[in-house]
Chains A and B, each alone.
Chain A
Amino acid sequence: MKSRAYPFYFAGGALGLYLLFYVLPSVMGFYYAFTDWNSYSSEVNFVGLANLKLIFASGQGYLLFIKNTVVFTVATILTKTVIALGLAVLLTSGLKRLAHFHRVIMYLPAVLPMLVVSLIFKSILNPATGLLNTFLREVGLGFLAQKWLVDVHWAMPSVIGVDTWRGAGYIMVILIAGIQAIPKDYYEAAAIDGASGWNAFRHVTLPLLMPVLAVTTVLNLLYGLKVFDIVFVLTNGGPGRATDTVYTVIFDEFSKGRYGVATALSSILFLVMIGLGYFVIRFMHREETR
């Protein structure tokens, strides 16, 4: 304690607020997850594991929503990271001319509100009147036109595509900062050893970028698990239930007044995120100390 720059009680105020507004509601949430709290009755009864049983063992489709969330998360982590990495390398070493301008352009979607992005894409992806299908038909690629947001097989990939378009620029900016922090000496040494561009990327850029990639992965992971707005506006979980994710279902359950089930779902997600977050942070820490 003595060795610290500030005494412990300095953190007291912040800690108090944190406990009151973050920890306490979360713990209360866990309690409500085991009750039948709903809008139809003023009583709140303890129902044990009934809500968890409903989610995991009732066959009412909750597992599909969890699967959709995982698919969305994994897919967006991969697409955003690969595209952002490619763009970051291109805009740091490949494309020198107007690099800043290009970076701004690539980053722009991230500053647009999600609602605006979703509404614009909803119109672009309209199968009859949308820009995308009209363009495809005009250039003679009509056979590629799909019912993007209303086809069971295309709805999720479309949502993932839109989210990647919006999110890749943001990840790219973080990766550019990471790449720029790599000392030039490594590349010079690699060049002297006769390394090709690919080898320099594979053996210099990528390993030294790992801590930054870990950060972007955590960001994408937590974002993906919590995804709501883009799905809600683009497909509202449809067609049918094909793109419902955990948070759209939580919203649904809350609006139906089934607060107990909704709280159980969000508590599960809370635990999963804490667990995954812990492992990824430990992984990052190991990378840093290595």
Chain B
Amino acid sequence: MKQTLYALSALLLAAVLIVGCAPAQPAAAPAAPTQAPAATQASAPAPTAAPASKSNVTLTYMASQGWIKDAELELAKKFEAETGIHVDYQIIPAAQYFNVLKTKLNAGEATDIFGGQSGKTDLKVQYDVEKNAVDLSGEEWVKRMDPFALDQVSLDGKVYGAEIWDIIGSNYFVVIYNKPIFQKLGLSVPKSYADFKTACEKIKATGITPMFEPISDGWHHVLWFPMIGPRFEELHPGLAEQLNANKVKFADNETMRLALEQLLELYKLGCFGENALSDAYADTNKMLATGEVAMALVPLAQLPSLKKDYPEVKAEDFGFFPIPLVDNNLAPVHPAGPSKFIYAKSKHIAEARQYLAFLMRPDNLQYLLDNTPEFSTLNFSGLKDKWTPEQREFLTTYPAKSIVYQDAVNYVNPQWMDIGKDLVAMFTGTLTPEGVLKNIDQRRADMAKAAKDPAWP
């Protein structure tokens, strides 16, 4: 009797377990991708929408935080009023974005439109656009897009992405300098590395930190290296191409080694201050406004943000020049930026195209530019920009010849944070400049092999 009772209770327990688990499955499916509810919503409207009138369609759009400006959300409302197509924006925290996106692409359930950084490596390796994105080459707006930017959203001659970004103001990282401090010390704008080093030493002697370099964020100090890609290209024409064809390596290039040696020298000289390793990028405006530092590496569009935080600051007190390593005097042309891709498996490709075409209308682009304080221009012709005299002076003084190396050279951008760690190791004496370059080569080879790049057999 007892045995039967035990057996019965065991059966009951097993049944409860099975029943308990069973209904969890349908519930678990939408619960799994908690970071982005896109999957469920992407598939949800499908059965009702497609055949009926377009007014019922909801486009889902996933992007990383900071990529979608308020003005674009306003434009989406206007689009809905005009067409009845609702755009459901799904914003993911930046740190998780690429993991979420890659997971969704691999699982075959991305949103109708997905955001991504442009750049050939990213297009090919991160998003596999040939498989995952719709060819947009035939769209009208393609003709109006900046050719540098267009190249970054294209692969093998086909356009896959719609990039709308201030690729100059937000992308050009340049040295901002405090003109009164320079004048007081009799310093002129550095034209070479030697000039810059002298300026640093003179400024440091007065007790002011010459250059604010927030290394603790992990990404900022990396800018010093790939951002002078145009200079590498000037001294070694065709270098980026050779690197992409795996014919030369970073470690083979003496100019690159020299650039890192100079960066290390600046660090050792105390040009970046005593606490560079624990300084944070968020303090940049404060340091500039208070005059605690004489220079910082910032986007060209930093002034409006500086003025906003510290209204007493005078814009004319600040000027700009390019990163001076290896005597660089070229503008850091960096046309890659947040772009929009239409998912190849989307059920609303036509509507998504319609939405992109709407955003790209000149009047809407101008609205976006006028209503986004951090934008000074956009990567489309025929728009009225918002440059200040100081920014315009930089743009006219330093020529734009070729693009920076995180855009020009494959497999550099995805290892940005690793380069950051290596540079810190270099600053703290555990890695040589040559070691940093060798590590970059090693990681490029690892990525290229994983991506089955034919140049890396």
Chain A residues near B (Cβ < 8 Å): 6-7, 9-10, 12-13, 17, 36, 38-42, 60, 126-128, 147, 149-152, 236-242, 255-258
Contact = CB atoms under 8 A, between A and B. Distances in A.
A40 B106 contact: no
27 contacts: A7-B3, A9-B7, A12-B10, A13-B10, A13-B14, A13-B17, A17-B17, A36-B450, A39-B106, A40-B451, A40-B452, A41-B450, A41-B452, A126-B275, A126-B278, A127-B274, A128-B274, A128-B279, A150-B216, A152-B428, A238-B218, A240-B421, A240-B422, A240-B427, A255-B99, A256-B418, A257-B102
B447 A40 contact: yes
A240 B264 CA distance: 14
B222 to A, nearest CB: 13
Given A7-B6, A240-B421, A240-B430, A258 B450 contact: yes
A152 B429 contact: yes
B14 A12 contact: yes
Interface of B: 3, 6-7, 10, 13-14, 17, 99, 102, 106, 125, 216, 218, 274-275, 277-279, 414-415, 418, 421-422, 424-431, 442, 446-447, 450-452
Contacts, number: 81
Closest 7 CB pairs of A and B: A240-B425, A150-B277, A128-B275, A40-B451, A40-B450, A240-B424, A38-B450
B292 to A, nearest CB: 11
Contacts of B125: 40
A25 B7 CA distance: 30
B106 A42 contact: yes
B278 A149 contact: yes
Nearest to A237: B421
Given A128-B275, A258-B450, 14 more contacts: A10-B10, A42-B106, A126-B275, A152-B428, A152-B429, A238-B218, A238-B424, A240-B421, A240-B427, A240-B431, A241-B430, A242-B425, A255-B99, A257-B102
B130 to A, nearest CB: 13
Counting chain A CB atoms within 10 Å of each CB, which of B17, B430, B442 scores highest? B430
Counting chain B CB atoms within 10 Å of each CB, which of A13, A150, A152, A236 scores highest? A150
Instruction: Determine chain A's interface SS by DSSP, over half rule.
Output: loop
A18 B442 CA distance: 41
A128 B214 CA distance: 13
Nearest to A10: B10
A69 B151 CA distance: 45
A240 B428 contact: yes
Nearest to A240: B425
Nearest to B451: A40
Contacts of A240: 421-422, 424-428, 430-431
A44 to B, nearest CB: 12
A258 B430 contact: no
A51 to B, nearest CB: 12
A150 B278 contact: yes
A9 B6 CA distance: 10
Contacts of A6: 6
A230 to B, nearest CB: 17
B439 to A, nearest CB: 8
B116 to A, nearest CB: 14
Contacts of A38: 450
A128 B278 CA distance: 8
Contacts of A149: 278
A248 B418 CA distance: 13
Given A240-B428, A240-B431, A10 B452 contact: no
A257 B19 CA distance: 36
B421 to A, nearest CB: 6
Given A256-B414, A258-B450, A241 B425 contact: yes
Contacts of B428: 151-152, 239-240, 242
A268 to B, nearest CB: 19
Nearest to B105: A39
A60 B442 CA distance: 9
Given A60-B442, A147-B277, A150-B216, A10 B6 contact: yes
A239 B275 CA distance: 13
A36 B449 CA distance: 10
A60 B425 CA distance: 14
Contacts of A126: 275, 278
A239 B424 contact: yes
Contacts of B275: 126-128, 147
Nearest to B9: A10
B234 to A, nearest CB: 31
A128 B17 CA distance: 57
A6 B10 CA distance: 11
A128 B218 CA distance: 18
Contacts of A127: 274-275, 278
A36 B414 CA distance: 19
Contacts of B278: 126-128, 147, 149-150
A135 B425 CA distance: 29
A128 B7 CA distance: 69
Contacts of B421: 237-238, 240-241
Contacts of A36: 450
Contacts of A128: 274-275, 278-279
A149 B450 CA distance: 35
Contacts of A41: 450-452
Contacts of A152: 428-430
